[in-house]
Amino acid sequence: MTIRGFLPLIAATLVFNCVAGVEALSPKRPISQPKPTVSLPVQPPWKVFTAPDGRFTVLMPGTPKLMFQTQKTYMGEIDLQIFVAEPPKQEVAYLVTYNDFPYSYGQMANPQEILKNVEYMALRTTQSHLVSQRNIRSSNGHPGREIVYVNRGGKITKTRMYFVDGRLYQVMAITTRKQQRTLSHTITGYLNSFNVVLKA
């Protein structure tokens, strides 16, 4: 498998496997049927989440779930760590994922080439069209890229990617068009809150 074959596999996996709840819409009730009186669940408070290894922090709505995935590549097995938070009663998922590359590759790799390939594969594997892209940097100066894309089902993904010391981070928000209109500022605040903690 080439470099393009594994860098962003997590993008397709996350969109189709980890956020099934984003796809579900509540069925409409007939007009004549009275609506039952129910109390809405308490929304989880946003709080700073620190990665178990201490290498990033981010604001999350509640405590994210941790998942693992291993991808076989020509370099050997690449381990992916995925942190997912899905607030109740909202069609949105907030995710942070990262993978480490073998040391020798991580030292030689061109960060911009990696980020470009991640974008290419994210669009191809999710069959999405690109809405916007821009080069960015982390709060401590590491190279990154922000992309926004929409898949065939109308789900909108806004992702910021960073390549730091041989590690690829992807910070994502996946939502519907309708929900995106009400959560635009929240999603931007979430993405802005991501910080890489440099190794001592």
Residue 46 pairs in a beta bridge with 61
In a domain, 195, yes or no: no
In a domain, 157, yes or no: yes
| Domain enclosing residue 69, as ranges | 3-20+46-76+83-181
- Per the model's pLDDT, the better-predicted residue between 47 and 109 turns out to be 47
The CATH code of the domain that includes 169 is 3.40.1000.10
| The residue count for the chain | 200
Query: What pLDDT is recorded for position 199?
Result: 72
Q: Report the domain count for the chain.
A: 1
Alpha carbon distance 38, 134 (integer Å): 44
Mention every residue, 6+ apart, whose C-beta is less than 8 A from residue 50: 56, 57
In a domain, 40, yes or no: no
In a domain, 193, yes or no: no
Mention every residue, 6+ apart, whose C-beta is less than 8 A from residue 6: 71, 73, 78
In a domain, 29, yes or no: no
Confidence of residue 133 (pLDDT cuts 50, 70, 90): very high
In a domain, 34, yes or no: no
In a domain, 25, yes or no: no
Q: What is the mean pLDDT of residues 99-120?
A: 80
Alpha carbon distance 136, 161 (integer Å): 9
Nearest to 93 by CA among 61, 67, 118, 68: 61
Q: Tell me which amino acid residue 176 is.
A: T
Confidence of residue 32 (pLDDT cuts 50, 70, 90): low
Q: What is the mean pLDDT of residues 33-50?
A: 67
Question: What does the block give as tokens for 17?
Answer: 């496997």
In a domain, 159, yes or no: yes
